[in-house]
Structure 1
């Protein structure tokens, strides 16, 4: 038996004023970050593009985003346009430098992940039939694996120490209440 769907799924909604003020505020607060994210992506995807978005809430609050800045984008006269272009060029240089830094950091993270995978593989090989990883044969571990293994063991020791301290700070449980039958 085919059951009719109750969900309307994704569909277009009619663009009109939302009558309920609280629903309108919720919609505004949900859509504003998405709009600003789209503006940010535009400025990143098209270097040199001048993007600005200015939004007023119903309460009169101003929300804005701009690249290189809202002021630079909104300046319309030609003599200040050269200054805005120079500011945009400086911003592009800074943006390129940040992109380079991000790519270098991503490469370092990827390299470290590969190194940690290799260490983990070596520890698994050194475990060879033992039940727990910390029982691994340290003679099989190399110079690269031993410091990581030592750090992991220290983390276990510190966690155990914190757990023991936490248990030691607990008040002792109350003594059991004797039943009337045991008293006679």
Structure 2
């Protein structure tokens, strides 16, 4: 006959602080899960509202709550206990939780609706500005250089003339600026001017500026646009 090995059976564990740090952490994780499980079972079986908050030895926080930790804590701090039901399995807690969840969702929905309306107003304002800008640009005709001048109407020709006049003025002003800069940085350029011509360097500057001013741009005379064809690109002023 084989003798069975006697088991030590279930032994009572002495409740005291665990000295080994690793063993202490393992014990904390297991027991924390057990506490949360029991709290969940209590809320399901009895419809109880429960909240459990645990800080680990390292300072990490863990929590469990039904319907939520915040709801239970707020109710506790306000001190407005719910009317107790005689039976343990009453569904008053769950109904209250649903009502609170619906109110919270409605509040968030209204906030999102207000934000959406504000964004729509911003979009409409931007669309109006863009439309206004486009209409303003559409009212301005720009010659791209590829269009036959002979096919332009009176308003388009007048606009082209105005732009060409402005361009001629800009070109003359820029040429005058470059000439002046050239005289400042290259004074030897004036050596060709005869000393007896009166004024020396001043006479040379006057002669060059007069020559630049006498540059003739065909088509900009009072007579109209004779001599202009293709290939002239105008920039928006």
Task: Normalising by structure 2, report the TM-score.
Answer: 0.32
Q: State the structure with bigger RCO (CA 8 A, min sep 6), 1 or 2.
A: 2
